[in-house]
Chains A and B, each alone.
Chain A
Amino acid sequence: MATMPASASDLLKSFKLKTKQQELLIRVSILCLVYILAFITRLFSVLRYESMIHEFDPYFNYRTTLYLTENGFYDFWNWFDYESWYPLGRIVGGTLYPGLMVTAVLIYRILRFLRFAVHIREVCVLTAPFFASNTTLVAYFFGKEIWDSGAGLVAAILIAVCPGYISRSVAGSYDNEGVAIFALLFTFYVFVKAVNTGSLAWSLASAFGYFYMVSAWGGYVFIINLIPLYVLVLLITGRYSMRLYVAYNCMYILGMLLAMQIRFVGFQHVQSGEHMAAMGVFFLMQVFYFLDWVKHMLSDTKLFQAFLRITVTSAVAVGGVALGLGMVSGYISPWTGRFYSLLDPTYAKDHIPIIASVSEHQPTAWSSFMFDFHILLFLFPAGLYFCFKRLSDATIFIVMYGLTSMYFAGVMVRLILVATPAVCLISAIAVSATVKNLTVLLRSKNKVVQTGSTKGSGGSKSSSKALLDQSQPFQKNGAIALLFGAFYLLSRYATHCTWVTSEAYSSPSIVLAARGAHGNRVIFDDYREAYFWLRQNTPQDAKVMSWWDYGYQITAMGNRTVIVDNNTWNNTHIATVGRAMSSYEDEAIEIIRSLDVDYVLVVFGGVTGYSSDDINKFLWMVRIGGGVFPVIKEPDYLVNGEYRVDKGAAPKMLNCLMYKLCYYRFGEMMTEYGKPPGYDRARGVEIGNKDVKLEHLEEAFTTSNWIVRIYRVKPPNNRW
């Protein structure tokens, strides 16, 4: 019995880990926790509503994924979709980035193989959170590569909950960006690793990372321009090395060849002006290598310099002539409007209204930065400073990534997403370096007093020695206070992120929620009600006309053919629908019949007060319709430049098809106590035309809260 305690303590001793092992254990468990945290913080929408796909575009992705699981890859690749853009159809295989769908199906197959009987929808819903978790791991390794493992851990924690990233990766938002940010960060990490080590294996990995990114998102253009820019800066600042040569050449050539396998991208890498920078830098690298070799061979410096002058001049001249010839002959296409609008931000406003009109493409105000980054914004400049104090190939990369993406984020709101990983990494460096210094101070026991960045400019040794001598009385207390301050700030960050995720970024927008009169949550599930009605009650080959916003949802959930959808590739077709919606009924019926339409679907928020309905979108229909068909004129629908639906509205407005379809039978309805019948709650007015009569269409179905209304097109009258 007496030996028992001894043996127990022996056992404990054998379990006791060395400091290194302890550290490893802590690090791994923190990473695991972060991995789980990144996943569960994105599940608000699943808990609050149910496991479903959000928004508009994800429904198309879901539909294609479904097709891929059912019919296999080759059918998917050759798929001609006749259910959308009737009567034109759409070549789906050649006009999308297949990375997301293939990934989801792969996960689905693996789960099936492991005998988990899941539905493909669940996989699609959870793909984005899963990849967000993976991104945290990449962020850890990236942080470790550019600074130290502490910075890596902080970066992983920060990116796990950063609202800028969560906005596009909550459960159910099954969109390209969900996997693309992972691919982007992974490519960057592996490339930096390749530059640091000069190993072929890492650069091969970065080529494959790039390939995955190209297959997943059009934002790959950012990579193929940032990496050459980075290489160029390294060349200019005199940091050319063999490691860089190996990393870039391997990554560029292999990545380019791989990217050409994606049909939607095709030969753009050698033909489009957006990819020419990468090629130019590639040739420049060869020139550098050649010069290095010649320098090695020639011992005479003067001779070398003369040689240098001739080579560089001729190289630049040849490159310029080649580019000019390519541009003139039309072999190299000029930059696209989207690219121009990034470089010269006022370009879109003056030249491409269709880009300028999309709300995601608006320039960013300071409050959006605050909303998406919170305290990271304050830490970013400090992190920049730390990076400059310890310049290396890796920190130069992260600084460039941070600055370019920050600039682009200022140009367009949606590009905050691309900037998020960089902001998290750079801020993590600031947090980690500061906290590390403070804790070193606390643990130093007055022996080694080290302030400032530990590995910062090692310039003045004498002054740090002077520091050692004067031990400061309040140093520890100060450090403790500062540590508490830092943790307070970080906890505020966590609170902010959780709150933003729960309140702003987790609504599926296909199921609407509102607060009832007693503060309870009211759910409007009208969209799905309408789409399932279409699926159950209309003929298999029925064609549904609606505004393009709802196209993807109708084909995916209603399984019916639509005239236009969210892939806005054919402006004329959209304008035709816009024209039909804004014409009088007897004119519209001609267009409707010419398009073989059987049902017309409109979205109406007058009963519920849902403000993004078709009446509020109507002016865009008029504008887009009028852009192609000049018969439609915007002023006809306005009164003194004002958009109204009440008694004072323009006569054309009161009798156009959209108005009639939205307000049919609405004049009899009481919506709010104390208000006359026909009171529109979304616009807060009594409608102007309460006696709507339809001649060629009849009401087929209206959902329980009147949000979606479906009309059947009557067959033509018998002729004798």
Chain B
Amino acid sequence: MAISYILLFILSFISISRFLVISKAGAESELVADLLTLQSQSESGVIHLNDRTVSKFITSTKTPRPYSLLIFFDAIPLHDKSDLRLPVLVHDFALVASSFIANHNGSNTKLFFCDLEFRESQSSFKLFDVNSLPNIYLVGPDAESLKDDTDQMEQSGFTRLTESLVEFIESRTQLTVGPIHHSPIISKKQMVLIIGFLLIWSPFAARKIFAGETMFHNPRIWLSGAIFVYFFSVSGAMHIIIRKMPMFLMDREDPNKLIFFYQGTGVQLGLEGFMVGFLYTIVGLLLAVVTHVLVYVKDLKTKRIGMLFSVFVSFWAVKQVIFLDNWKTRYAIHGFWPSRWN
């Protein structure tokens, strides 16, 4: 009898514990299913969390959780601060998220991409102890305390977020992300439309070209284009675009003062480049105007004034550029005659 009791007890224990396991597993799979639906609702696959869902998916679940969460900390009021580059980072994060989901055909249940917004979820920010942005945390399956057990991505990674995020994920979760799907600039439909348009347009264009009546036959347009290309190149606009240089800097010591010129070769600021580019261009153009336009002016006085004006402006521009160049590069050009001749 006793044995049967014990047996019964064991049986019931097994069944109860099984039931418990099942119910735990059920709760877990429910959470995963919730996450999946949330993920499918979002366009990029980034789940938008708030204080309630943070407690639902992270703090009130038992470890180990069947999933990891990668959380991006966002603050909409700070989006217009250009040095934080938050909108760019949001975009890159969404790109990695959608690529990850696409590469796993939506069957991934191990890792979810989430974001938290500061105004909605201030207490969650406190839980993570996040005081500065941008920030990305990985909440692993075993993380108990959000302050201590979570992995924070290093700040150096934010300069090239997509690559370093992939590295970060792959090193911490042992999941592969796969290739990043950069969205093409023009979609396939647009491509077809454009090609179709070009095909229809080309015979008309060809006829016009043969007849010689397009704007391409007007040298003035070519000339202004040429001057623009020149200005664009010598003002270092490429430098500004590639290095993402700001137009000017704030003086650290005196916030009211702006710095327009940067001392040191190989680096320049935006406005500085445009100013010098303008100086470069103006001299040549004045020379052209004097030799080709001014000569046809009939009034002698205007002619002389124009002449004197362009001579002085050219002189000033050349002087200014040479002064700036010597100041910037600290090369003092000297002649090869004895120094007392100077």
Contacts and interface: CB of A to CB of B under 8 A. Distances in A.
Nearest to A384: B226
Interface in A469-487: 470, 472, 478, 482, 485
Contacts of B209: 235-236, 238
Nearest to A371: B329
Interface in B20-71: none
Interface string B277-320: 10011011101100110011010100000010001001001100
B76 interface: no
A308 B210 contact: yes
Contact of A381 (B154, B207, B230, B266): B230
Interface stretch (A17-25, A144-152, A275-283, A459-467): A459-467
Nearest to B288: A385
B107 to A, nearest CB: 27
Of B195, B216, B267, B331, most A-chain CB atoms within 10 Å: B331
Contacts of A349: 242
A464 B297 CA distance: 10
A362 B291 contact: no
B219 A367 contact: no
B328 interface: yes
Interface stretch (B3-11, B114-122, B123-131, B196-204): B196-204
A169 to B, nearest CB: 21
Contact of B223 (A388, A499, A504, A630): A388
Contacts of A641: 156
B333 A496 contact: yes
Of B226, B273, B298, most A-chain CB atoms within 10 Å: B226
A406 interface: yes
Nearest to B240: A363
B318 A489 contact: yes
A273 interface: no
A309 interface: yes
B217 A453 contact: no
Interface string A349-369: 110000000000011111111
A700 to B, nearest CB: 38
Contact of B199 (A305, A317, A411, A485): A317
Contact of A366 (B216, B236, B318): B236
A260 B199 CA distance: 34
Interface of B is mostly: helix
A411 B212 CA distance: 34
Given A364-B236, A369-B234, A388-B219, A403 B229 contact: yes
Contact of A308 (B203, B265, B268): B203
Interface in A421-471: 430, 433-434, 437, 451-453, 456-457, 460, 463-464, 466-467, 470
A463 B291 contact: no
Given A313-B202, A381-B284, A466-B298, A365 B266 contact: yes
A499 B334 contact: yes
Nearest to A320: B195
Interface string B153-171: 0101000100000000001
Contacts of A648: none
A454 B210 CA distance: 32
Given A236-B209, A381-B284, A367 B328 contact: yes
A523 interface: no
A635 interface: yes
Interface string B208-230: 01101010110100110011011
Interface string A304-334: 0100111011001100100000000000000
Interface stretch (A196-204, A211-219, A372-380): A372-380
Interface of A is mostly: helix
Contact of A407 (B204, B232, B242, B272): B232
A345 B242 contact: yes
B268 A381 contact: no
Contacts of A410: 232-234, 236-239
B288 A498 contact: no
Contacts of A452: 291-292, 295-296
A386 interface: yes
A384 B267 contact: no
A363 B236 contact: yes
A411 B243 CA distance: 11
A386 B287 CA distance: 10
A430 B199 contact: no
B238 A345 contact: yes
B239 A367 contact: no
B168 to A, nearest CB: 12
B184 interface: no
A107 interface: no
Of B210, B212, B235, most A-chain CB atoms within 10 Å: B210
A460 B325 CA distance: 42
B206 interface: yes
A368 B266 contact: yes
Contacts of A338: none
Given A384-B227, A489-B318, A378 B334 contact: no
Contact of B207 (A305, A370, A478): A305
Interface string B78-96: 0000000000000000000
Shortest 6 CB-CB contacts between residues of A and residues of B: A381-B284, A385-B288, A309-B203, A410-B233, A382-B284, A363-B239
Given A369-B280, A385-B223, A489-B318, 9 more contacts: A308-B206, A366-B234, A381-B285, A384-B284, A410-B236, A452-B291, A463-B296, A478-B307, A485-B311
Interface of A: 235-238, 305, 308-310, 312-313, 316-317, 320, 345-346, 349-350, 362-371, 375, 377-386, 388-389, 391, 399, 403, 406-407, 409-411, 430, 433-434, 437, 451-453, 456-457, 460, 463-464, 466-467, 470, 472, 478, 482, 485, 489, 495-496, 498-500, 503-504, 630, 635, 641
